[in-house]
């Protein structure tokens, strides 16, 4: 069994979402966000949380999602979704 489970992650992320963000209702959005963040970490982006899985980028991305350091936002402009996200000190948003 994976920890955290999809159900736990969805509940936690809905609790920590920003005002105006859509509630997360599907596992698909979690998988896409974790994969996208793992690619960013693989490309050199610094991890936002300390984790035991220092060499596993996907595990780090899942830990960031569960900790509320990464947020999933609605993609209002489909063309802009291919551009990389800028790095900031604020929690990442997808």
Q: Are 71 and 94 in contact (CB under 8 A)?
A: yes
Q: How far apart are CA 86 and CA 24, in angstroms?
A: 23
The kind and range of the H/E element at 64 are: helix 57-67
Please report whether residue 33 resides in a domain.
yes
Question: Is the pTM value of this prediction over 0.85?
Answer: no
Average pLDDT of the chain is 78
Q: What is the dihedral of CA 53, 58, 63, 66, to 10 degrees?
A: -160
Total tally of structural domains belonging to the chain: 1
Q: How far apart are CA 26 and CA 6, in angstroms?
A: 9
CATH number, position 60: 3.90.940
* Predicted confidence (pLDDT) per residue in 64-81, tens digit: 888 888 888 776 655 544
Residue 38 has a pLDDT of: 94
Q: How far apart are CA 42 and CA 62, in angstroms?
A: 14
Domain carrying residue 29: 6-17+24-93
Q: Which residues contact 46 (CB under 8 A, 6 or more apart)?
A: 87
């Amino acid at each position: 069994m994976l920890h955290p489970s999809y159900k736990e992650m969805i509940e936690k992320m809905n609790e920590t979402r920003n005002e105006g963000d859509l509630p997360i209702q599907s596992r698909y959005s979690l998988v896409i966000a974790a994969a996208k963040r793992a690619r960013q970490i693989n490309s050199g982006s610094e991890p936002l949380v300390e984790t035991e899985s220092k060499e596993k980028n996907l595990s780090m991305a899942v830990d960031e999602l569960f900790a509320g350091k990464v947020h999933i936002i609605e993609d209002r402009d489909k063309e802009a979704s291919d551009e990389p996200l800028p790095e900031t000190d604020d929690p990442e948003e997808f």
